């Protein structure tokens, strides 16, 4: 049986999953039971009948009450069936950590037309549902959530994002606002100095080969960006309420991140023993396909064991790497039990953005924001949706040189996980680990 390694964590700011895990680890069992109860779909639906905004108690310390009250007032004044849900989502829960599944479950109980803004990871997801599959609801929530990501520069607090998403969702044309925000965002990035420009932002040469004065370049660039921002978000700039001040969250993130890692480490240690016992119980005849598959499984398990030996002092990527290697051992073991040879052609690929998303992936052309070249990588359904919506992937974040970055941005020579995409880009991950490539990385 494949190993389930999808806890749903994303970014160090991902309060949705990480803050809940920290709370569970730091509070008694009674509090855990109460949180589970208050997160049930029946409770959420009942609360939404009374108010268009539902906030789980675990968010009470990071979402000011006045921000929630303003969102409620905005929705009620619009008269639109916009509903906001902030509740912890975890892999293995009633909705398997997916905002779309939660929205569908809640909508089954509420009926009618509903535009749901659900916090998933560190961003809002928009789901627009109606009683009929024909001529469904307009995509208010969908475009509002996407526009919010661009407006906040993919880096807004929970309160800022909720306030902005609600304003977009109740506007006259969320799709037009989304397109305007995308254009403004891309134009603003295009106005940044390129590699061919000087440190002061001037281009060494203009079209006729002469130097381009700084005073002539920057006013035009800044003016263009300002004009686009005004045209794209004019209505919102005049009508949006003041943003509530963000609260210090560093301690909460640190505790949550530590709790998440400890949970994954315990799972890796448990699975390492269980898979090892199953491998030891198999005795296929030598020279058969089953024996070949068992050999591959044993190699993957050995590689996982070697990484696990330094897991406590290594990186989060090492912990995830152990789980990925155990998945490979599981696949080899399953093939051996069926008497088949384990081949790379039949191997399932983990999600390139975050292996914790599982192996239900599709090869997809992906271009990183700001990049000019696309690559084809296996991505899970949620990440494919993010690519099509031109939003940032929910990538596995690691610490590297004092910064939190997607694991694949660590230089390949420093991380076997980045070099192979946790095996999603190449078939030699096990061989690399067995020869010691996992010992030279500095990312953590």
Distance (Å) of CA 184 to CA 47, 128, 177, 279, 398:
37, 25, 10, 56, 30
Fold adopted by 15-175 = Diaminopimelate Epimerase; Chain A, domain 1 (3.10.310)
Q: Average pLDDT of the chain? A: 76
Strand 397-400 relative to strand 82-86: parallel, antiparallel, unpaired?
Answer: unpaired
Distance CA 24, CA 280 (A): 36
Of 7, 5, 2, 10, which is closest to residue 404 (Cα–Cα)? 10
Distance CA 346, CA 341 (A): 10
Task: Quote the pLDDT of residue 257.
Answer: 58
Question: 290, 232 in Cβ contact below 8 A?
Answer: no
Strand 123-129 relative to strand 53-55: parallel, antiparallel, unpaired?
Answer: unpaired
Of 24, 26, 16, 7, which is closest to residue 62 (Cα–Cα)? 16
219 vs 310, which has greater pLDDT? Answer: 310
Question: 163, 67 in Cβ contact below 8 A?
Answer: yes
CB environment 81-116: b (16+ within 10 A), e (fewer): bbbbbbbbbbbebebebbbbbbbbbbbeebeebbbb
Task: Quote the pLDDT of residue 417.
Answer: 95
- Domain coordinates of the chain in residue numbers? 15-175, 262-439
Query: Average pLDDT for residues 341-370, to the nearest whole number?
Result: 81
Instruction: Give the lowest-confidence range in 29-38, 142-151, 296-305, 375-384.
Output: 29-38
Digit-coded pLDDT (tens) for 388-418: 887 778 888 888 888 888 999 999 999 999 9
User: What percent of the chain stands above pLDDT 70?
Assistant: 70
Task: Quote the pLDDT of residue 216.
Answer: 45
Tokens read off for 360: 């239900």
Distance CA 35, CA 20 (A): 9
Distance CA 440, CA 77 (A): 58
Cα-based angle 85, 86, 91 (whole degrees, multiple of 5): 105
CA 423 to chain CA centroid, nearest Å: 19
Query: Average pLDDT for residues 346-362, to the nearest whole number?
Result: 86
Digit-coded pLDDT (tens) for 52-82: 999 988 887 778 889 999 999 999 999 999 9
Tokens read off for 272: 């390492």
Instruction: Give the lowest-confidence range in 73-77, 133-137, 327-331, 440-444.
Output: 440-444
Residues 6+ apart with CB under 8 A from 230: 237
User: What percent of the chain stands above pLDDT 90?
Assistant: 34
Tokens read off for 417: 């996980």
Of 79, 10, 94, which is closest to residue 44 (Cα–Cα)? 94
């Amino acid at each position: 049986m494949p190993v389930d390694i999808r806890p749903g964590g994303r970014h160090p700011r991902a309060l949705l999953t990480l803050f809940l895990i920290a709370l569970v680890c730091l509070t008694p069992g009674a509090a855990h039971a109460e949180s589970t109860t208050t997160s049930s779909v029946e409770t959420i639906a009942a609360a939404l009948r009374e108010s268009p905004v539902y906030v789980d108690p675990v968010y009470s310390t990071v979402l000011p009450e006045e921000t929630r009250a303003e969102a409620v007032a905005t929705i009620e004044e619009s008269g639109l069936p916009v509903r906001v849900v902030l509740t912890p989502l975890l892999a293995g829960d009633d909705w398997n950590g997916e905002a779309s599944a939660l929205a569908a479950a809640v909508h089954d109980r509420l009926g009618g037309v509903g535009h749901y803004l659900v916090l998933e990871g560190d961003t809002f997801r928009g789901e627009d549902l109606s009683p009929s599959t024909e001529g469904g609801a307009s995509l208010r929530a969908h475009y509002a959530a996407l526009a919010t990501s661009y407006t906040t520069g993919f880096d807004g607090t929970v309160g800022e994002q909720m306030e902005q998403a609600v304003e977009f969702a109740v506007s006259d044309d969320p799709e037009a606002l989304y397109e305007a925000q995308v254009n403004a965002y891309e134009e603003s990035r295009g106005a940044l100095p390129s590699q061919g420009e000087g440190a002061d932002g001037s281009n060494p040469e203009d079209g006729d080969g002469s130097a381009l004065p700084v005073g002539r370049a920057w006013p035009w660039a800044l003016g263009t960006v300002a004009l686009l921002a005004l045209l794209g978000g004019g209505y919102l700039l005049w009508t949006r309420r003041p943003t509530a001040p963000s609260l210090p969250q560093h301690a909460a993130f640190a505790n949550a991140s530590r709790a998440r890692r400890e949970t994954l480490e315990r799972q890796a240690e448990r699975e390492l023993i269980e898979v090892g016992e199953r491998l030891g119980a198999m005795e296929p005849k030598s020279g058969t396909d089953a024996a070949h598959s068992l050999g591959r499984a044993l190699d993957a398990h050995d590689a996982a064991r070697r990484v696990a030996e330094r897991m406590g002092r290594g990186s989060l990527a090492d912990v995830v790497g152990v789980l990925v290697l155990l998945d490979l051992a599981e696949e080899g073991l399953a093939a051996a039990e069926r008497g088949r040879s384990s081949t790379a052609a039949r191997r399932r690929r983990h999600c390139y953005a975050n292996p914790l998303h599982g192996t239900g992936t599709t090869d997809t052309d992906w271009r990183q924001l700001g990049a000019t070249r696309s690559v084809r990588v296996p991505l899970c359904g949620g990440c494919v949706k993010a690519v099509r919506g031109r939003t940032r992937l929910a990538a596995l974040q690691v610490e590297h040189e004092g910064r939190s970055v997607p694991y694949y941005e660590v230089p390949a020579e420093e991380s076997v996980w980045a070099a192979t995409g946790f095996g999603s880009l190449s078939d030699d991950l096990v061989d690399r680990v067995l020869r010691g490539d996992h010992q030279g990385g500095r990312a953590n």
